[in-house]
Structure 1
Amino acid sequence: MELFGIEAWVVNAQHIKMVPGRKTDVKDAEWIASLMRHGLLKRSFIPNRPQRELRELLRYRKSMIDERSRELNRMQKVLEGANIKLASVASDILGVSSRKMIEGIIEGQSTPEELAQHAKGRMKAKKDELAKALDGLVGPHQQMMLSEQLKHLDYLDEQIKRLDHAVARQMNMAEELIQLLDTIPGVGRRTAEHLLGEVGLDMSRFPDAAHLASWVGMAPGNNESAGKRKSGRTRKGNKHLRSALVEAGRAATRTKDTFLSAMYHRIAARRGKNRAALAVGHRILVIFYHIVTNREPYKELGANYHDQRRKQSVVNRTVKRLEAMGYKVTIEETSQAA
Structure 2
Amino acid sequence: MKDCQWICKLVEHGLVRPSFVPPRDIRQLRDLTRYRTETVRDRAREVNRLTMFLEDTGIKLSSVVTDITGRSARAMLDALVAGERDPQVLASLALGSLQGKTPLLTRALTGDFNGHHAFMVASMLRAIDEADDRISRLSEEIDRQLQPLRQQVDLLITIPGISLPLAQVLIAEIGVDMNRFATAGHLASWAGVCPGNKESAVKRLSGRTRHGGTWLKTALFIAGASAAHSKTTYLGAQFRRLVPHRGAKRATLAVGHSILVAAWHILHDLVPYRDLGPDYFTNRLRKERQTRRLIAQLAALGMDVTITSREQTA
Evaluate the alpha carbon distance shift between residue 31 and residue 327 of structure 1 in structure 2; reply closer, same or farther with a 3 A threshold.
closer
Matched, 1:99 2:99: no
What are the within-5 Å matches in structure 2 for residues 165-244 of structure 1? 165-244=140-219
Q: Which contiguous aligned blocks of 4+ residues in structure 1 show a shift greater than 6 angstroms?
A: none
- For 1:49-128, list aligned pairs within 5 A: 49-128=24-103
Question: 2:201 is aligned with what amino acid?
Answer: A
Corresponding residue to 1:316 among 274, 288, 292: 292
CA distance in 2, matches of 1:256, 1:144: 47
Cα displacement string for residues 87-140 of structure 1 (whole angstroms, at most 9, x for unaligned residues): 222211111111111112222222222211111111112222222222222122
Moved more, 165-174 or 295-304: 295-304
The reply on whether 1:267 has 2:242 as its aligned counterpart is: yes
Structure with the higher fraction of residues in helix conformation: 2
In structure 2, C-alpha distance between the alignment counterparts of 1:322 and 1:115, rounded to whole Å: 59
Q: CA deviation at 1:246?
A: 0.8
Query: SS in structure 2 opposite 1:90?
Result: coil
User: Secondary structure of the residue that 2:94 maps to in structure 1?
Assistant: coil
| Inter-partner Cα distance in structure 1 for 2:198 and 2:92 | 62
Q: CA deviation at 1:184?
A: 1.5
Deviations 1:37-63 (A, max 9, x none): 343311111122222111111111111
Q: Aligned partners of 1:75 and 1:58: how far apart in 2? A: 26
Corresponding residue SS for 1:230 = strand
Question: C-alpha offsets along residues 239-259 of structure 1, whole Å, 9 cap, x if unaligned?
Answer: 111111111111222334322
The equivalent residue for 1:331 is: 307
Structure-2 separation of matches of 1:273 and 1:243: 15
Q: Which 5+ residue runs of structure 1 have no aligned equivalent?
A: 1-20
Name stretches of at least 5 consecutive residues in structure 2 with no aligned partner.
none
SS at match of 1:249: helix
Shift of 1:327: 2.1
Question: Does 2:122 match 1:142?
Answer: no
Question: How far has the Cα of 1:308 moved from its partner?
Answer: 2.3
Deviation, structure 1 residue 312? 5.1
Q: Give the share of equivalent positions with the same residue, in percent.
A: 42
- Select which of 233, 241, 264 maps to 1:289: 264
In the other structure, the counterpart of 1:157 is 132
* Aligned equivalents of 1:140, 1:269: Cα separation in 2: 52
> Given the superposition, is the C-alpha separation of residues 59 and 319 from structure 1 closer, same or farther in structure 2, using an over 3 Å criterion?
same
CA-based RMSD: 1.8
SS in 2 for 1:329: coil
Q: Which of 280, 290, 293 matches 1:305? A: 280
TM-score, reference length from structure 1: 0.86
Residue in 1 aligned with 2:226?
A: 251
TM-score (norm 2): 0.92
Q: Which moved more, 1:187-196 or 1:32-41?
A: 32-41
Pair 1:39–1:316, CA change in 2 (3 A):
same
- Whole-Å separation in 2 of the counterparts to 1:90 and 1:253: 27
Distance 1:290 1:333, change over 3 A: farther
Q: Could you tell me which amino acid in structure 1 is paired with residue 40 of structure 2?
A: I
**Cα distance in 1 between the residues matched to 2:79 and 2:291:** 60
SS at match of 1:327: coil
Measure, in 2, the Cα distance between the counterparts of 1:257 and 1:77. Answer: 39
Distance 1:255 1:138, change over 3 A: farther
3-state DSSP of counterpart to 1:164: helix
